[in-house]
Amino acid sequence: MSRRYGSSKRNFHRKGRTHRTAFRRPHLRPAPQAAPLPFEDEVLGRLYETGEWTDAKELAAGMDLSRQRRKELQQVLKSLCHQGLVGCDDGRYRLLAPPDFMEGTISVHPRGFGFALVTKAAEGAKPQRDLFVPAEGLGPARHGDRALLRVTGRDGDRLLARVVRVLARASNVMVGTYTAGGRNGLFTPEDDRYPFTIVVPRPLSLGARDGEAVVVEITDQPAAGHPQGRIIEVLGDPDTLSVQTEMVIRKFELPHRFGTEALAQAEALPGTIEVRDGRADLRQVLHVTIDGETARDFDDAVAVEKTRTGYRLHVSIADVSHYVDLGSPLDQEAYARGTSVYFPTRVLPMLPERLSNGLCSLVPNEDRYAFTAILDFDQSGKRLKKQFTRSVIRSHNRFTYTTVKEIIIDQEPAVRSGHQRFLTPLAQMEELARLLLARRMARGSIGFELPEAEVVIGPEDTVAGILRTERNFAHQIIEEFMLAANEAVAETFAEAEFPALYRVHAAPDPIKVAEFAEFAGSMGLELPGDPGTPSWFGKVLASVAGEPTEYIVNNLLLRTMNRAVYSPDNVGHFGLAAPFYTHFTSPIRRYPDLLVHRALTQLLAGKAGAKARTSPQPLPEAGLFLSERERTAVDADREMVDRLKARFMAGKIGEELEGVISGVSGFGLFVELFDLFVNGAIPIADLTDDFYHLSEKQHRYVGERTGRSYQLGDLVLVRVANVNLRRRRIDFELVEKLS
Q: What is the pLDDT of residues 206-234, one digit of tens each?
A: 999 999 999 999 998 776 667 899 999 99
* Separation of alpha carbons 492 and 494, rounded Å: 5
Query: 593, 503 in Cβ contact below 8 A?
Result: no
Residue count (the chain):
739
Q: 591-604 vs 619-649: helix axis angle to the nearest 10? A: 150
**500-to-278, 410, 486 alpha-carbon distances in Å:** 23, 42, 13
173: three-class secondary structure by DSSP: strand
Q: How many CB atoms neighbour CB 519 within 10 A?
A: 20
* Separation of alpha carbons 668 and 686, rounded Å: 9
Same fold, 39-95 and 101-168: no
Furthest-apart CA atoms within the chain: distance in Å: 93
Q: Are strands 668-673 and 656-664 parallel, antiparallel or unpaired?
A: antiparallel
* Separation of alpha carbons 284 and 286, rounded Å: 6
pLDDT above 90: residue 50: no
* Separation of alpha carbons 697 and 516, rounded Å: 9
CA 679 remoteness from chain centre: 19
- 173-238: CATH topology: OB fold (Dihydrolipoamide Acetyltransferase, E2P) (2.40.50)
Kindly tell me the burial class for residue 293, based on how many C-beta atoms sit within 10 Å of its own C-beta (0-12, 13-18, 19 or more).
exposed
- 39-95: CATH topology: Arc Repressor Mutant, subunit A (1.10.10)
CATH architecture of 4-20+653-737: Beta Barrel (2.40)
**331-to-325, 567, 624 alpha-carbon distances in Å:** 6, 20, 18
What's the CA angle centered on 219, arms 218 and 221, to 5 degrees?
80
Q: Residue type at 732?
A: F
Q: Residue type at 691?
A: F
Q: What is the pLDDT of residues 528-558, one digit of tens each?
A: 877 888 888 888 888 888 777 777 888 888 8
Domain ranges of the chain: 4-20+653-737, 39-95, 101-168, 173-238, 260-505+568-636, 510-561
pLDDT of residue 574: 94
Question: Own/partner pairs for 480-484, CB < 8 Å, 24+ apart?
Answer: 480/432, 480/433, 480/436, 480/437, 480/440, 481/302, 481/313, 481/315, 481/429, 481/432, 481/433, 481/436, 482/300, 482/315, 482/585, 483/436, 483/440, 483/576, 483/578, 484/313, 484/315, 484/375, 484/383, 484/436
pLDDT of residue 123: 57
Give the helix ranges, DSSP H, for 303-390: 329-337, 353-354
Q: What is the pLDDT of residues 119-137, one digit of tens each?
A: 877 655 555 668 999 988 8
Give strand ranges (E) for 33-179: 54-55, 86-89, 92-95, 101-108, 114-121, 130-133, 146-155, 158-168, 173-179
Query: 430, 406 in Cβ contact below 8 A?
Result: no
Question: Strand pairing partners for 228?
Answer: 199, 220
pLDDT above 60: residue 23: no
Radius of gyration (C-alpha) of the chain in whole angstroms = 29
The least confident of 179-188, 438-447, 452-461 is 452-461
The least confident of 266-270, 459-463, 575-579, 648-652 is 459-463
Positive or negative, the CA dihedral 561, 564, 565, 567 is: positive
Q: What is the pLDDT of residues 464-520, one digit of tens each?
A: 988 888 889 999 999 999 999 999 999 999 999 999 999 999 999 888 888 888 878
Residues with Cβ within 8 Å of 393's Cβ and at least 6 positions away in sequence, in order, are 282, 283, 285, 287, 301, 316, 362, 367, 368, 370, 372
Q: Count, in order, helices (H) and strands (E) of the chain.
A: 16, 34
CATH architecture of 101-168: Beta Barrel (2.40)
**Confidence band, pLDDT 50/70/90 cuts, at residue 32:** low
**Confidence band, pLDDT 50/70/90 cuts, at residue 309:** very high
* Separation of alpha carbons 362 and 498, rounded Å: 29
Q: Say which DSSP state 279 is in.
A: -
Q: What is the pLDDT of residues 402-425, one digit of tens each?
A: 999 999 999 999 999 999 999 999
What's the CA angle centered on 264, arms 259 and 265, to 5 degrees?
100
Average pLDDT of span 72-80: 89
